[in-house]
Structure 1
Amino acid sequence: MKANQTKIEKFLATNETTFAIPVYQRNYDWTLIQCKQLLHDILEAGNNNETKAHFIGSIVYVHDDVYTASGLTELTIIDGQQRLTTITLIYIALYRLAKQLDNQMSKITRDNFEIVQRGLSKLIFVDISLDRQNDNPQRIFESLNSTGLELSQADLIRNYILMGLSRNNQEEIYRNFWEVIEKNAKDESLNKTRVSEFIRDYLTLRNKEIPNKGDVYVTFKKKYPTTTVDELKKILSELKSLSLFYNKLVNPQNEDDKDIRQQIEYINRLEINVAFPFLMKVYEDYSNSLIDKPTLISVLSLVQSFTFRRFILGLPNNALNKIFMNLYDKVEQESYLLSIQKSLMQRSGVHRFPRNTETVNAFKEKDVYNMKPKNRTYLLERIENYQNTEPVIIDGADITIEHIFPQNPDPKWKIELGAEEYNFIKENYLNTIGNLTLSGNNGKLGNKPFAEKQVMNIEGKEQGYQFSRLWLNRDLKEKTKWGKQEIEDRANKIADRVLKIWEIPDIKLEEQSIRDEKSIFDAEPPTNYRKLNYATFLGERLEVKDVTKLYVEVFKRLFQLQPELFLGTPLGEKMGISKTQENLRAPEPLVENYFIEKNIGSNQYKFDRIKEALTQLDLEEELMIKYAD
């Protein structure tokens, strides 16, 4: 490798030089933001006589013969393409303006022509020339911290895969595999690439561990440390295959079957992206005729029921990551759907599939009006369109959400209901499902009394509830008043429909013995006399016979894993963690110079503290216990 300070105008003026952009380089992705910044820097340098040079970073290229720009017939650019292309475009603009000074669209004008020229003449960069035989272009590329648009994780992976190959192999791998993956892993409605997200989902599926968004490239390199052509083809063949199904999950319009497309649209609208690793494999099974269409639709519907019921209850979303990450491993081909249903139904605690009673109770009390608009629209559309042969589309239509008892009621409401009932509804039921409906005349109905909203027919335009064709308004036609009881009755009726839309599987689960190995979140409460057989934490078997020993061993490992969670924090105080063992009644060493109080309450208290810490560290599924026989 040789590095020299070089002026950009000299570099571009080198005779008989071709700049080759290899296939592993990203497209020209600079937007107006980056281009304007570069032009601003050029103008600033051109205007300032004291500025002798302006540094624009480095340009790295590979060749196999000589190390300087002079005399080269081809330079393969591996870093600096965006800046080099933009500066070339500026020179082209100068050339055209010099020939015809009437380009009104350009930011380069008669007035700043010479300033731009002076600014360009001051641009310098580090000219880094690599020899493929002696240098590692990929490693050098990773170490650079160039200015401009940051490379995505997918950009880094593409470079890692292709950079070390011969030109012919680069072309073959890119055209037959990577280009197809890039085409498939794209949100077509937003014209936005999702290759990084797709590979993250793929790695989640393969590693059973979700990489951080900024660590996808590093995780990929660790998973696939060698990149021979044959190995690459094997890896990329699977990625290419799964990308076909990822494409349909991201772009439901590409699914030809309208019934399947409808379910994917629902999943897409709810943004259940966390289920994509699992759903890609299910989709692949359907494509390979391992399951039929009804099974696929049932699985897609099941995923919605599971996630939306949890949403209604407000259960933590982070629990979904590990649930779906491992769910495909539970699939039994002979009883495909049933095995998935059982896996989800057997969960409890924060990972549970909410049952009907708790779902209904939470649903009737939920502030539906202030839900995220996309979730609220999904909810109301599904309720309205259940078994409806003429579906109603809310999103983007003139239909809006309507408070039956208004947010700012006409004074007549208080007179009709009485102060007590009026205040109760306003404080407890205003934004709940029992008091909400859909209307194409929300502005007309406004804050008027119920009787007026019911029969409104201004200018014969039939704005009132009694003229509505919507299911959600059907029971409003016959009501004579709208108060607490009517809201509760309507909420119960809608809740019954909710249970049919987001069904829970009607299956029998085997009774599990209290002494089976279970997650600590699913295990029966520990009495003070109950003994343990063993525990498994982070893949390690712990020979612990009582809850106190479990408590100490788990926190030893958690403290080593993330000590900042316990030092000077409320959780650490609850644990009784101290640097001085004299402050504790029954100290137990955690690590050097730190101790934990092991005599700290009942077994249930210790269980609760363990679960609290595991939840904060997103390790809910990492501790399994087995009670003694």
Structure 2
Amino acid sequence: MKASETHLQEILEGTKQYLIPMFQRTYSWTEKQWKQLWEDIKDLIEDNQSLSHFIGSIVSIPNNTNTHGVQQFLVIDGQQRLTTLLTLLVATRDIAEKLGEKNLADEIHHMLLVNSFKSGEEKYKFLPTQVDKENMKKLINKEPSLDNEDSLIFKSYEFFSEKIQEEESLSLSTLKSTITVKLSIVSIVLSTDDNPYLVFESLNAKGQPLTQSDLIRNYLFMRIPADHQEDDYLRYWLPMQEELGTYLTEFIRHFLLGENINVKKNDVYIKFKTKVDRKDAKDFLKVLASYAGYYAKLLNPALEDNKDICKLLKRINEFEAKTAYPFLLYVYGDYKKGKYNKKQFCIILEIVENYLVRRFVCNIDSKSLNKIFASAYHQICTYEAEDSISELINYLQNRGYPKNPEIINSLHQNQLYGKGDRRKKGSFILKLIEKSYRHKEQADLSKTTIEHIMPQTLTEKWEEDLGENAEYIHSTYLHTLGNLTLSAYNSELSNESFLIKRKYYKQSNIHLNKYISSFDNWNEENINKRSEKLIEKFIKIWPYFGKIENEVTKITGSSPRLLTILKKPYNVNTWRDVMEKTIISIYEDNLEKYQQVLSENPGFVSIDGRRMREPKQIINQHYIETNLNSKSIYNFCIKLFENHGYNKEDWQIELIFK
């Protein structure tokens, strides 16, 4: 590697050509960067012409494929500033020619823009990448640009043309010498022994910051032989880039996550390198391109030809279930390879949707979902199709998947409308419930939004109708399932009384609304009645897919999530919570049985705790032993219920496995 401080004239003079590799991103500088460069040049001209101004580095590597006298270099870094300087020179040339300064115009053209005695593409000293190449040719050749209004190359040229003409006292000869001699550049020319992608990675020059996918693209193609780069770029990378657009980096992140690689948003490039280092770059590019097609269908289900799969993908997409994309991406790949048939793939999609929707209505923390779905594919990939579906069910069932009692309790109490994504997901649930009635003439739900039957702002009329507990009823049930419906007339209905709203509901084509119109008034009792009806529908749409029986075969490595005692759910975080809730439930249910517990288990629960190693006082002022492991607590709680006349189903525990 050879590094030296130089200037643009020295870089361009001679029979040279600088090429931007096909895989590099297109020109992306905008007015912000153009304006900064122009201000720097004006400062040099106005303040002290003996000074120079450093504008960054240009990294290149000799390209030895040409044997006809033109010395070629591939630009590894610095293409943005080099492209901008060339458009500025073209603008200076054209204005010089326009003002009759033909010698200056010819000097710029023949010394800095073209290799005068060469033809074809060898004629041009600088050729950008992709569509920018043709646009730069047109500028240098003075061809019309009417069809290229959106080109940043042409916009850059127009910007500098305008700025030059605004400066009436500006000497074009001085401008040319400032651009070519006074702007200091560090030229880094790599040798064939240098590792270009390591050099590229370490650079920290001015300009438009590279995205993670930019870095990945450059890293891949620098490992692909030069004579294959253009073909591989056009065949694999460019279609992937055009199909995914701004989602390209996120796709690569999800691709890595699906391999069970922990990847943060800003570490995609670093993690990507550790994976590609073990594989042939071209082979890996082919795989990446094929999975990009599956990812595009996750983002845009309309691309999927199969109607059943498309329908399920749309539902997952509407629910904004991107946390499941790393898993679905690889399952999609297996489906396309023939491991799963259409029915089996649809079952997997239904399981994923079911799992996410049920967790959402129970307010189960979503932070763990990334980790859960990142590991899911590795849990099932070694099994045959049917067995892998069973394994998926087992895997998800033990990771915060709520049973029906928790669903019923949550849908009566939890908010389905609020900040963040709650409003959108609540609307999704209501629309699926409405569609489940299967009318021959379905109402158009595309323009509907969530309507609060009891309004968000209570009027005097509503307070009167709700009675003396109006504030409690309003704060408790406002955003719950029983008080929510769908309407395209939300603003019109607003805070109207129930009697007025009921007239609308009766005439509505939406089944959810027709049922509301059967009530004479709207109060706590009727909200709960409607909740029960809708919950029945909910459970039919998203039924529990796990094992119903209370079967816990493994305790070690788990943490408790939900304890259900006598059909009442309790959120628990530790095994101590489990023990305390279990003992208190017997205390509250039957004092006689509780006295038996005290007399038969003094080492576990007692009035004073004097004989315990680590006693903890509980809400009835008695004490429990806390120096116990998870297995001991589980066995003790099971024993309590079995030995004191309760049924097996009266005590159930939901576990989360790490």
- Normalised by the size of structure 2, how large is the TM-score? 0.69
Q: What is the alpha-carbon distance in structure 2 between the residues aligned to residue 360 and residue 41 of structure 1?
A: 68
User: For 1:12-51, what per-residue CA distance to the aligned partner results, in whole angstroms no more than 9, with x for missing partners?
Assistant: 4x24221111133222233444444444544555554479
AA aligned to 2:478 is: L
Structural mapping, 1:284-323, within 5 Å: 284-323=333-372
Distance 1:241 1:64 in 2: 31
Structure 2 partner of 1:151: 210
Match of 1:333 in 2: 384
What is the CA–CA distance in structure 2 between the aligned matches of 1:324 and 1:85, rounded to whole Å? 44
Correspondence 1:268 to 2:266: no
Q: Deviations over 1:441-497 (max 9, x none)?
A: 222223221112222xxxxxxxx2221111221112222111111111112222222
Which of 396, 400, 406 is the equivalent residue of 1:358? 406
For the structure 1 residues 105 and 128, does the alpha-carbon distance in structure 2 shift closer, same or farther, using more than 3 Å as the test? closer
Alignment of 1:188-587 (within 5 A): 192-206=245-259, 208-225=260-277, 231-331=280-380, 332-336=383-387, 338-347=389-398, 351-371=399-419, 372=421, 373-388=423-438, 390=441, 394=445, 397=447, 399-418=448-467, 420-455=468-503, 464-505=504-545, 507=547, 511-513=551-553, 518-521=557-560
Give 1:237 shift.
3.2
* Aligned counterpart, 1:123: 183
Equivalence for 1:88: 86
Question: Quick one: structure 1 residues 336 and 6, their matched pair in 2 at CA, closer, same or farther if it must change by over 3 Å?
Answer: same
Paired letter, 1:382: L
Match of 2:652 in 1: none
Match of 1:566 in 2: none
Match of 2:584?
Answer: none
Query: 1:196 is matched by which residue type in structure 2?
Result: T
Q: Determine the C-alpha separation between the residues in 2 that align with 1:280 and 1:104.
A: 44
CA shift in 2, pair 1:89/1:445, >3 Å: same
1:526 and 1:370 mapped to 2: Cα distance? Answer: 32
Asked if structure 2 preserves the Cα contact closer than 8 Å seen for 1:200 and 1:213, the reply is yes
Alpha-carbon distance in 2 for matches of 1:621, 1:47? 70
Q: Is the 8 A contact 1:79 1:141 kept in 2?
A: yes
- How much does 1:95 deviate? 3.8
Tell me if the contact between 1:368 and 1:376 (Cα under 8 Å) persists in the aligned partners: yes
Distance in 1, matches of 2:562 and 2:319, equals 31
- 2:344–2:385 CA contact under 8 A, matched in 1: no
Where does structure 1 lack aligned partners over 5 or more consecutive residues?
Answer: 66-70, 187-191, 456-463, 531-584, 587-599, 609-619, 623-629
Q: Distance in 2 between matches of 1:359 and 1:44?
A: 69
Matched, 1:171 2:234: no
Moved more, 173-182 or 486-495: 173-182
Which moved further from structure 2: 95-104 or 257-266? 95-104
Match among 135, 144, 167 for residue 194 of structure 2? 135
Q: Which amino acid is the alignment partner of residue 91 of structure 2?
A: A
SS in 1 for 2:368: helix
Contact 1:47–1:115 (Cα < 8 Å) also in 2:
no
Q: Which residue of structure 2 lines up, in the alignment, with residue 55 of structure 1?
A: 54
Whose relative contact order is higher, 1 or 2, with alpha carbons under 8 Å and at least 6 apart? 2
Q: 2:98, 2:540 → 1: CA distance? A: 71
Change in 2 beyond 3 A, CA 1:374/1:82: farther
Change (3 A) 1:171 1:621: farther
Q: Which residue of 1 aligns with 2:165?
A: 110
Q: What is the Cα deviation at residue 168 of structure 1? A: 0.9
Structure 1: distance between partners of 2:433 and 2:558: 35
User: Aligned in 2, Cα 1:64/1:213: closer, same or farther, shift over 3 Å?
Assistant: same
The secondary structure found in structure 2 opposite 1:3 is: strand
Give the SS at the match of 1:437: strand
1:41–1:272 Cα change, 3 Å: farther
> 1:625 matched to which residue of 2?
none
Alignment check: 8 A CA contact 2:556 2:631 kept? no
Q: Using the TM superposition, name which of 163-172 and 504-513 deviates more.
A: 504-513
Deviation of the 1:606 alpha carbon: 13
Q: Equivalent residue for 2:6?
A: 6
Provide closer, same or farther for how the CA distance between residues 153 and 478 of structure 1 changes in structure 2, counting only shifts above 3 A.
same
Structure with greater Cα Rg: 2
Amino acid at match of 1:85: T
Query: CA shift at 1:411, angstroms?
Result: 1.7
Q: Deviations over 1:402-452 (max 9, x none)?
A: 22222223322223333x232222221122222222222222223221112
3-state SS of paired residue (2:402): coil
Q: Under a length normalisation based on structure 1, what TM-score does the superposition of the two structures give?
A: 0.72
Amino acid at match of 2:211: S
Tell me the CA shift for residue 220 of structure 1.
2.6
Shift of 1:80: 0.5
In 2: Cα distance, 1:110 partner to 1:173 partner: 44
Which residue pairs with 1:18 in the alignment? 17
Contact 1:24 / 1:158 at 8 angstroms: preserved in 2? yes
Question: What's the offset of the Cα at 1:282?
Answer: 1.9
Contact 1:242 1:284 in 2 (8 A): yes
Q: Give unpaired runs (5+ residues) of structure 2.
A: 100-156, 564-573, 580-612, 615-624, 634-655
- 1:76 is displaced (CA, Å) by 0.9
Native 8 Å contact 2:412 2:480 kept in 1: yes
Q: Matches of 1:159 and 1:203 in 2, distance apart?
A: 18
**Partner in structure 1 of residue 619 of structure 2:** none
| Equivalent pair of 1:8/1:125 in contact (CA under 8 Å) | yes
Kept after mapping to 1: 8 A contact 2:466/2:473: no
SS state at 1:78 partner: strand
Q: Report the Cα distance in structure 1 between the residues aligned to 2:214 and 2:337, rounded to whole angstroms.
A: 31
Deviation of 1:271 after TM superposition, in Å, equals: 2.7
Matches of 1:508 and 1:376, distance apart in 2: 27
Conserved 8 A contact 1:341-1:505:
no
* Residue-pair matches, total: 510
Q: CA deviation digits over 1:502-522, x for unaligned, max 9? A: 2221656794435x7553458
Query: CA separation in 2, counterparts of 1:384 and 1:171?
Result: 52
The separation in 1 between residues aligned to 2:221 and 2:509, in whole angstroms, is 59
Give CA deviations for 1:284-311 in whole Å, capped at 9, x if unaligned.
2322333222222221121111112112
Q: How big is the shift at 1:4?
A: 1.9
> Aligned-residue CA RMSD in angstroms?
3.6
Distance in 1 between the 2:490 and 2:89 partners?
Answer: 58
Aligned partner letter, 2:72? E
